[in-house]
Amino acid sequence: MKSTAPIPIAVSACLLGWAVRYDGRDKAHAGVRSLFASGEFVPVPVCPEVMAGLGVPRPPVELVQVRGSVRALGVSDRALDMTGPLIRQAVRWSAQASTVAGLVCKSRSPSCGLEVALHDQPGRAVGMTEGLFIQVLRRRRPKLPIVEETALADPERRAAFLDRVRTFAAGR
């Protein structure tokens, strides 16, 4: 018998209109919200920074290459190192969120982005990497479908993502 329960998709909370960003704002995204209009899918809000105990608003962080590792350091205060709390929370969340069948993440976020600027200590961009939350999820749940909100504007990429989510949900 086919289940009619909505399929849970984790979504960066800021994309759903939650004011959880470092600057106290949201990044509400109509294309993301429209994923849930039919009732086939249900959003599961996630904000790694808030879950890691960071306040709103909070000092912005960026990904910095430090002695061969990637760290989440304060933009204006390099002594602010949020790497540990972000990674611990990502590990905890990935273990608890076994019911989600996909993730829509915020582009360019140092925790959630799929392609995020990587900086050196003085702040110059030196390359690209994935956000810390995404790095942990890819290791712990490698088959979980993940997409940035920017990809949902392309009908083919949107349809492909939703097909992957359906397949993932059916395989559990």
41 part of a folded domain: yes
- Domain for residue 161, yes or no? yes
Q: 84-118 pLDDT, tens per residue? A: 999 999 999 998 888 999 999 999 999 999 999 99
Structure tokens at 13: 């909370």
Indicate the pTM of the whole model: 0.92
Q: For the chain, what percentages of helix, strand and coil (3-state, to nearest 5) are there? A: 35, 25, 40
Please indicate, yes or no, if residue 113 is contained in any of the structural domains: no
Which of the four pLDDT bands, split at 50, 70 and 90, describes residue 134?
very high
- Domain of residue 18 covers 7-58+82-107+132-170
pLDDT of residue 3 exceeding 80, the answer is no
**CA-to-CA dists, residue 38 to 6, 17, 43, 95, 166, angstroms:** 10, 19, 12, 28, 14
Domain count of the chain? 1
Residue pLDDT, tens place only, 6-63: 999 999 999 999 999 999 999 999 999 999 999 999 999 999 999 998 899 999 999 9
Q: Which residues does 49 contact at the CB level (< 8 Å), separation at least 6?
A: 20, 22, 58, 82, 86, 111
pLDDT of residue 2: 53
